[in-house]
Amino acid sequence: MARSVTLQRKSFNTLIAWIIGLLLFFPILWTILTSFKTEAQAIADPPVWFFFDWTLENYRVVQERSNYSRFLWNSIIIAGGSTILGMIIAIPAAWSMAFVPSNRTKDILLWMLSTKMLPAVGVLYPIYLIFIQLGLLDTRVGLTIVLMLLNLPIMVWMLYTYFKEIPGEILEAARMDGAGLKEEILYVLTPMAIPGIASTMLLNIILAWNEAFWTLNLTAARAAPLTAFIASYSSPEGLFYAKLSAASTMAIAPILILGWFSQKQLVRGLTFGAVK
């Protein structure tokens, strides 16, 4: 990376990259801007950019119409809960596969990943029935479990690739030093794998936060997270762009902020641990 380039070349790269970056980011930026406009300004042609009467009116209306904080809370519980629950199951599994590999390890790993390929829609009705039977329909617990199962293969896969990088000798040293299995995982493996674990958790929070098939189909009023909150704007209703923007901003803001603060782990996590 220490290749020297001319100043022109670097300026040119910078210009092109920023243009493309801003272009890709533009829909988000536009949504955020629009959320502060009046409905009339939101559809103005030619569009108004920055110079309009900034207003929080839309946020107030959206909050009034549907209780945002309840959806937000559901999203947090479901995304956070499924990630934590998943880690509790995935860490031991990944430990097994990374440090005590057998000749079936790779098959198991690929099989796990292949369950991700199972078309959700193919099992929608049975899950629906099971949920009714168990009283899990429209509950946060039910959704937490489903999203955990949905993302478990990815968690195991990612942790496996991170654990593989930790030299087995260190765990053996812990074993020689008198650590049992629990201590080995708790005091030695987990602290060493913190970056990988953080990346895995972050990615899974995002995947769970944005999951929209099961959250739309298994919830109604009580357990609906932000994906459902926003889906209620799917039928046009007069002038509603500014309100839609406000609702959208509210739905994506928590994840954008989380992503902003944990960029490094996230970039690592986004590669699913598959590329070094």
221-240 positions binding other proteins, by CB under 8 A: 226-228, 230-231, 233-234, 236, 240
DSSP symbols for 49-118: -S-S----HHHHHHHHHS-HHHHHHHHHHHHHHHHHHHHHHHHHHHHHHHHS--TTHHHHHHHHHHHTTS
Q: Which of 77, 120, 141, 198 binds other proteins (CB under 8 A)?
A: 120
Q: Which of 61, 76, 149, 198 binds other proteins (CB under 8 A)?
A: 149
Least distance between other proteins and beta carbon 53 (Å): 19
- In the DSSP assignment, the letter for residue 121 is G
Q: Tell me if 96 contacts other proteins by CB under 8 A.
A: yes
Least distance between other proteins and beta carbon 137 (Å): 14
Subset of 193-212 contacting other proteins (CB under 8 A):
194, 206, 209-210, 212
Subset of 38-57 contacting other proteins (CB under 8 A):
42-43, 45-47
- Measured over the CA atoms of residue 11, residue 13, residue 14 and residue 18, the dihedral's sign is positive
Taking the C-alpha atoms of residue 108 and residue 98, their distance in angstroms, rounded to an integer, is 12
Taking the C-alpha atoms of residue 77 and residue 215, their distance in angstroms, rounded to an integer, is 13
Q: Tell me if 5 contacts other proteins by CB under 8 A.
A: yes
Subset of 243-272 contacting other proteins (CB under 8 A):
244-245, 248, 251-252, 255-256, 259-260, 263, 266-267, 270-272
Q: Tell me if 220 contacts other proteins by CB under 8 A.
A: no
The pair of structure tokens assigned to 3 is: 């290749």
Q: Tell me if 24 contacts other proteins by CB under 8 A.
A: yes
HSE-CB at 274 with a 13 A cutoff on CA atoms is 8
Q: Tell me if 77 contacts other proteins by CB under 8 A.
A: no
Distance of CA 165 to the CA centre of its chain: 24
Q: Tell me if 59 contacts other proteins by CB under 8 A.
A: no
